[in-house]
Structures are given as C-alpha cells and as structure tokens.
Structure 1
Amino acid sequence: MPTSAGLRVNQAAGRWVLFTTSLGLTMALLDSTAVNVALPHIGEDFGAGLAQLQWTANAYMLTLAALILLGGSLGDRFGRRRIFVAGMTLFALASLLCGLAPDSETLITARALQGVGGALLTPGSLAIIQSSFHPEDRARAVGLWSGLGGVGAAVGPFLGGWLADGPGWRWVFLVNLPIAAIGIPVALRHVPESKAALDRHRFDIAGAFLGAIALGLLTYALIETDWLTGVLGVFAAAWFVRAERRHEAPMLPLSLFRSRQFTVINGVTLLVYAAFGGFFFLATLQLQIAARYSALAAGAAMLPTTLLMLLLSGRAGSLGERIGPRLPLTAGSLLSVCGMLLMMRAGANADYVSRVLPALLVLGTGMVTLVAPLTATVLASVDTSRAGIASGVNNATARAAGLIAVAALPLLTGMQADSYQSAETFAATFDQAMLWCAGLLVVAAMISYTQLGRGHAGTPAAPAPDSRMHCAITAPPLDPGPVNTGLAGTTT
C-alpha cells in the first residue's frame, strides 16, 4: 500500500481512499442537517421543553466547535488515519446511544459525544486526501470528495424528515451505524497512514478545555437564563484568552488578529453564521409547527438553499476573485436579509411555492454570493504558512456563532418552554427571530462595505480550497493548509 502522497484518482487504491473519506464526511453532514428536522418528534416523545430541544442541537455544536482545532492537531501528530478511525468509531457509538436514549438527558449527553467524534473525524477527512494523493490529482480528489459530501448535506434534511415520519426519529441517528460499519474496515485496510513532522511543542489541551468550558457556560446561561453562569462564562473566556497568549503553540494564535482584515472578516463571519444558525434551527420548526408540514415535507423544503450552494459556489468564488470581497459580502448579506424577511410569510398553512420557496431561493442566492469570497478573504489575510490555522479559526468562529444564536434567539424573542407546542405562539416569536437574524446580517453588510477595501482583494496569501462545490450552512469550508502542517477540515 502506498504510504506517501502518490495515489491517483484513477487507481483502485485512490478510489478506496476517496470512498472512505467521503463516507466519513457524509456521516457528519447527515447529522448536521438531519437532526433539526426531527426535533418536534423528539420533543413529543420525551415531553421535552424548548430548552431540551436547544440542547439537543447545541450539545453537538458545542463540543465540535471547541475541539475541532485540537482534532486537526491530533491527526497531524498521531496519524491522520488513526484519528479519523477513532472519530468515526466514537461518532458511531454516540449515535447508537442517541438512538437508544431513554430520556432527553441521555440524548443530550450522547449528542455531546457525537461532537467529540466529529471534531476528530471532520479534520481528518480532508487531511487524508491532502496527504495521500499525488499533487497532480489532489485538486480533482478534493473536488470529488466535496461533491460527494455535498450530496450527503443535500440528502440530510430529506432523509431526516422521512425517517422521523416513518420508522421514527431514532433512526436519524441509527443510520450512522451501517455507514461506520463500512467505513472503518475500509479505512483500516486501504487508507495510508500519514503524520506531520514532529515538533517540540505541547498540545494546547488547556486551551481546548477552557474554550469548551467558556462556550458551555455561556450557552447554559442563555438557554437557562442563569446570569451568574453567564458571568462565570465571561471569566472563563478571559482565562482562555490569557492561556492562549501564554502558550508556546496555542490552539487559537492571537497573533492572527494583528491583521486588520483577518479581524474584520471574522467579525463578519460571527454575524453571518449567527444569523444562518438561528435561521436553520428555527425554520424547520416553523414549517412543522406553524405551517403544518410533515417532517419529510419540511426537510425537503430546505433543499433549494443546499442545491444552490452545491451548484453555484464555484462561480461565486471566481466572481469574488475578479472583483474583490467587498461587494459580494455586502450584496450577499443583504440578499440573505431579504430571504429571512420573506420567510416571515411562511405562517399558518403557508403554501410552499408562493411563500416558502421564494424566501429560500433568495436566501440561498445570498449565501452563495458571500460564502466563497468570505473564505478567500480569510486566506488572503495571512501568510501561506498559516492558511490552515487561519481557516480553522474562521470555521470555529462560525460554529460558535451558530451555537450562541440557537441559545440566544429564544431568550431574545420571549419563547417559553412550551412555545413550540402552539402554532400561533411559535409563529409570532419566529417572526421576531427573523428580525433579529436580519439585523445581524445588516450589520455584517455595513461592516463589509465600510471596512473592506474597494476593488480587487489582491492575490491571496494562500489558494482558496480546491473544492468547487460545498455546503457551508453551518460553517465556511476549511482550507487544509500545506501538507503536513496546520489544520485540515471540511465543507459543512
């Protein structure tokens, strides 16, 4: 078996590597897009309040956001295949626990474990391709991997709705087991192992731990309206920053923020993905609770945004390269505002073609317009040697933004524990939430227009990800950085 970066796409060995890494990506993407559709069924089965549904979504995002940077480093140090297989195994075991959960508390715990598995699995998927394929075939391999993963993202809401309405919501999680049963043996047999060159630096375990604690405390404070916990979360965040400043190889290098453009674009990322995270969490609930769609219909209804991302992201990236990021980020944010305001028409018994579809098409067009230039601008703001970690920080920023939005929006809009059980009550608070999300995007547009340079952004310090298709609903795509250094990631 080849152990260096010499595999070819047209060889059986190369196809096996593509197959198993795509399975891993698909497994992670299915869960990130399918679970929200099943939330009303989960709440009904467990008699759970809105807070339990928030935690079902957020427990996964919390551990994934906090540990994804560490997961990439572990793969570089101990072996990318080894960490990929460990992540897939943990993800599968956690999925089994989710599917067998007797109560909401067990489900939430299992979702957090899924996030740990995802933090190990997700960076390794692309890193394996980058380190295994011949340079001449690497771009093609990443494109095929991204396209196959994008199909998984597109199928997720549809599959989640079909399973929730049919055999039951537990199968949304149990479907991961056969995927892992195929992927793990194939990875062990056919994927070459690779590591980065060893260095003297210690892992930033303290940074990962403090980051998770800070995010967890702040999320708990928002969901449970516990302000003392919020204060503790702020102190934990300050301690995290202090620890990162003093660590010799920090998980979050604060020196990156010396670049004004990097700081600005991460601020835009925070706002944009908070809006997107809140929208996709609440929109599938709105369609089922207020519009009276089945879970299957609600899942299928969300497909247009994903399909637009898959089909048009490459062209949007090319446009951004020609004219610079300022106008695409501004226009994309404002188009997304229009999409969210149009979604307020999706109330009681809303017709899909006349009320829901126009909103999703406008929103999807806005997302397509801004996501690829956002990623390119992140990479252009740092040296090539730091492209991987800069992209990883941007990805983690986006995931944390979605996490906080899902926790905060019900509080800001006055949603109560039983709000999702009343169509009229939920629809009213959903409209308020869309106004909040639209407001975040307006601020993002203003920052983009006033703080980013006019015209062409200049030659990026690192190339944009090879992927020409991706679904960046939960976070922008990660660039793997140079082979054997930095962080690699996915296109979720």
Structure 2
Amino acid sequence: MSTPISTVPVAKQKRSYVLACVATGAFLSTFDGGVVNVGLPRMAAEFNVSLSMIQWVPSVYLLTMSALLLIFGTLADMFGRKRIYNGGFALVAIFSFLCILTNNVYLLILTRVLQGVGGAMIMANGLAIATENYPPEQRGKNIGFLGSVAAIGSLAGPSLGGIVIGLWGWRMIFVLITIVATTGFLASHYIIPADHGKERSSKKFDSWGALYVIIGMVSFIYGVSNLNDFGWLSPTILTSGTIFIISLIAIVIRERKALNPILDFELFKMRIFWTSIVAALISFITMYSSTVLLPFYYQKVLGYTPQLAGLFMMAFPLGMAVMATFAGRLSDKIGYTFLTSSGMILNALALVLLANVGEKTPVIQVILAVFGMGASLGLFQAPNNSCIMGVVPKNKLGAASGISQLVKNLGMVLGITLSVAIFQHSMDSKVSLAYVPAFLHSTGIVYYLAAGLSIIGALFSLNRGGKGIAKPQ
C-alpha cells in the first residue's frame, strides 16, 4: 500500500518556502483589519452613511470568520488542508477586487462577508500546516516566527493604509489586500504539499453541527459587541443571549454524537489542551482591554494628535514582534511552562505600570510600558500555541488550529466590551471629578482588573499538566 500524500515529509529545501506561504496568511489576517479601519471615515463620507453603518464593514468580516473557523478547520482535517487554505486566498483576492468596484455600502458589506469566508479558510489552517510540515523540534520557532509576522501585519496595516488613502483614496487599500492574497494563492498553490485529508471511517460532514456553531458564534459575538451600545438588558441583547444559549445546548447534544464533530469535545478531555486554550483566551482579553483605552489616554489626557497616538500605539505590536520569535525558539529547548507563566506575570506587571500613569507621566515611560506588555504577551503566545498544536493528534490539527484562532477573536470582543463597560461605569460614578482625574481613575480600575486576570492566566499556565514540553501524538 502506498504512503498517503499527506504523510510524506516535506523536502528539507522546501520547508522554508512552506513557512513563507503560511506567513503570508498570518500577515494578511492582521493587515486586513488595520488597513480597513483606517479607511472607514473616507468610506462613510463617500457613501454618505453614519459611522454605525460603516462599522459593519470590519464587523461582518470578524463575524463571518469567527462563525466559520471551526468548520473550515474540521473540513481541512477531512478533505485536505492545502485545498482549503489555497481556496481561502482565492476568495479573499476575488472579493477584495470586487470591493474596489462597489458603488454602495450594502455591496461593500456583502463582499466583506464573502471575504470573511476566505479569511476563515486561511486562519483555520495556517498553524496546522506549519505544524504538520516540520519536525516537532522546530515547532516553537516556526510558530514564534508566524507570531512576529502577524505583529508586523498589524504594524503595517494602519501606517500603510494611511499613506495610500491619502494619496489614492480608500479603494487602494483593497488593491493592497488583493495583491497580498494573490501572492499567497500563487505561493501556496505551487509550494505547499498536496494532501487529501486523514484516513477516517467516514468523511460525512456534520451539517447540523455546522449550522448550530454558526448561529451560536454569530449570536454571541454580535450580542457581546453591542452590549454597551444597546444596554445589557435590551431586547436585542437578551434575544442574542437566548439564541446563543439554545445554540450552545444544541452544539453539546449534537457534537457528542457526531462522527466528525465540528467542535471536537475529545480535545477538551486533554488537560494540557483546555488549560492552554483558557490561558490564551485570558491573554487576548487582557491585550484588548488595555489597547482599546490607550488612544484616548494619548489624545484626551496627554493632548497628542491622532497621528501621534497611532504612532505610539505601534509599541505594542513591535514588542510582540521582537519577542515572539525568540520565545518560540526558546520553547523548543526548554519547554513552554516557564515561558508562558513568566509572560503572563510580566504582562500583569506592565498593566500595573499602566494603571499608575498620570497627566505628568513622561510619554516615553508609557511607551516602554506598552512595549513591555507586547513583549510579555509575545513571550506567552508563541510557546502557548506551540503547546496547543503539539499535544493534538495529526488528524485533528485543523480542529485545534480553528479553536485557537477562534479564541483570539472571542478574546478581542470580550476584552473590548468588558473594558469599555467597566470604564464607562466608573466614569459615570465620578461625575463630580474633572474629566482627566476621572479618566485616570477609571482606566486604572480596568488595568488592575486585567492584571489580576493575567495572574489567573499564569496559574492556568503553571497547572496545565505535562512536563512543560509538548510531544506530538
């Protein structure tokens, strides 16, 4: 019997090219969000719509990706990663090009939904491809490199977007996305080894499970994203919450019986896996709970322009980019427990520093604290992702990758929503104070709570089981 194509090792000389293909997807995933957000004011002006309407341009992309990540991860395990991954680049390229041609906001939102389908196909499989095509002793290094590239994408998006919008208008940002996606398609088509999925007793797709997951993810993210706008007890939020709970119950019942479940509960029976996922969720919540408030501190308290505030915000992804590759390489040698726990503890210390900044704090001190926070999370995330991908069976790498990427999106939504809710509640209770003292007090509460949450994340990292070095099954 011949060896299945998916199990043939990648030739050594091709490995660096495979990683470069996956890095293109990692770059695109963060570049897209940053570059599109910069263009929103111009889009709103051209289409003559409100900010709340144009905000759907990035929101539907996030909603679509989050709803489909688990599905495309499972489909890749069943039918082959390359075809799903490569198809994702094709969809992003096609519908990014169509974004350039749109002449009304509704068509733009529709094309962004279809872009999100492609984005989910890419994001759900990048980590799995990088894990499957390299030996275990290189896993941390490669995942760290991908983390650095993703951080570079988040740096390049706003800065490059601002330049091209100023010179040629907002449509040019979709030209950039089309170019990156087309490059990724061509590279992955010719370089990533062909595979046809893993041997399974059945390749029957769990369509009902997929439907429940889509409904559950959309209702959860939509509801949580709009908590502070509609009110926690508004009919819209209560309806979204009810749909989510019903969907969650349906998912649990369905997926425990499904032959090829979209959400594989068998993975969560591994203590190392579920504790790593919880720690990852906490890390993303703390990340976005602080970064969403920092621009207001730079502008409202220190009095800097939006352009300078945006420049100072680059300290965070820069710190992450610098640390991620180093931490990934080190995790291949010493394991993940010390690095992930240290990263979360250092993140807590950076948050405490931010909680104590004031009106007279030198801006360089604030920038260094933000840089330190980015570096500490880079120290955590690369080894943690290496741990997640290292403990799952190869025929479930896509499912694990999809869960890992979904956690990032959920952490972002929860971090932003909870931090804004806590901040606003504190501001409302300090109406007797001037704006700046009330602002500093309120952000201090958010940052202290995030620091405490980061310590909890460190405890999960310390007590996940195993010997601190993830071995592939």
* Coarse TM-score class (shorter-chain normalised): 0.7 to 0.9
Cα deviation 1:309-346 (Å, max 9, x = unaligned):
33323443566678876665454334334434555688
Which position in structure 2 is the counterpart of 1:118?
Answer: 119
Cα distance in 1 for residues equivalent to 2:354 and 2:54: 22
Which position in structure 2 is the counterpart of 1:209?
Answer: 211
Cα deviation 1:416-473 (Å, max 9, x = unaligned):
xxxxxxxx9899779746743642441341353378439x95053435xxxxxxxxxx
Normalization by structure 2: what TM-score?
Answer: 0.75
Cα distance in 1 for residues equivalent to 2:265 and 2:37: 34
Q: Which moved more, 1:257-266 or 1:37-46?
A: 37-46
Whether the 8 Å contact between 2:147 and 2:382 is mirrored in structure 1 is no
Specify the code of the residue in structure 2 equivalent to 1:219.
I
Whether the 8 Å contact between 1:81 and 1:193 is mirrored in structure 2 is yes
Cα distance in 2 for residues equivalent to 1:311 and 1:97: 36
Specify the code of the residue in structure 1 equivalent to 2:384.
L
Which position in structure 2 is the counterpart of 1:445?
Answer: 455
- Give the C-alpha shift of residue 154 in structure 1: 4.0
Cα distance in 2 for residues equivalent to 1:340 and 1:408: 16
Identical counterparts, % of pairs: 25
- Give the C-alpha shift of residue 71 in structure 1: 1.7
Structure 1 gaps of 5+ residues are: 416-423, 464-481, 483-492
Specify the code of the residue in structure 2 equivalent to 1:307.
L
Specify the code of the residue in structure 2 equivalent to 1:277.
Y
Cα distance in 2 for residues equivalent to 1:402 and 1:352: 26
Q: Which moved more, 1:344-353 or 1:224-233?
A: 344-353
- Give the C-alpha shift of residue 86 in structure 1: 1.9
CA change 1:104–1:412 in 2 (3 A) is: farther
Whether the 8 Å contact between 2:283 and 2:457 is mirrored in structure 1 is no
Which position in structure 1 is the counterpart of 2:350?
Answer: 339
- Give the C-alpha shift of residue 168 in structure 1: 3.7
* 1:307-318 matched pairs, under 5 angstroms: 307-317=318-328
- Give the C-alpha shift of residue 79 in structure 1: 4.2
Whether the 8 Å contact between 1:161 and 1:295 is mirrored in structure 2 is no
Find out whether 1:249 has 2:250 as its counterpart.
Answer: no
Cα RMSD (Å) = 4.5
- Give the C-alpha shift of residue 243 in structure 1: 1.9
- Give the C-alpha shift of residue 352 in structure 1: 4.5
* 1:79-158 matched pairs, under 5 angstroms: 79-99=80-100, 106-125=107-126, 151-158=152-159
CA change 1:193–1:330 in 2 (3 A) is: closer
Whether the 8 Å contact between 1:25 and 1:125 is mirrored in structure 2 is yes
Cα distance in 1 for residues equivalent to 2:207 and 2:459: 38
Which position in structure 1 is the counterpart of 2:176?
Answer: 175
Which position in structure 2 is the counterpart of 1:478?
Answer: none
Whether the 8 Å contact between 1:157 and 1:303 is mirrored in structure 2 is no
* 1:288-327 matched pairs, under 5 angstroms: 297-317=308-328
Specify the code of the residue in structure 1 equivalent to 2:85.
F
Structure 2 gaps of 5+ residues are: 426-433
Cα deviation 1:81-126 (Å, max 9, x = unaligned):
3323321121123323544555655544443332211111234445
CA change 1:266–1:193 in 2 (3 A) is: closer
Specify the code of the residue in structure 1 equivalent to 2:161.
G
Which position in structure 2 is the counterpart of 1:470?
Answer: none
Specify the code of the residue in structure 2 equivalent to 1:460.
I
Cα distance in 2 for residues equivalent to 1:451 and 1:18: 27
Which position in structure 1 is the counterpart of 2:369?
Answer: 359
CA change 1:318–1:220 in 2 (3 A) is: closer
Q: Which moved more, 1:256-265 or 1:208-217?
A: 256-265
1:370 aligned to 372, 380, 385, which one? 380
1:270 aligned to 281, 284, 292, which one? 281
Which position in structure 2 is the counterpart of 1:490?
Answer: none
Cα distance in 2 for residues equivalent to 1:145 and 1:221: 31
- Give the C-alpha shift of residue 253 in structure 1: 1.7
Specify the code of the residue in structure 2 equivalent to 1:268.
A
Which position in structure 2 is the counterpart of 1:475?
Answer: none
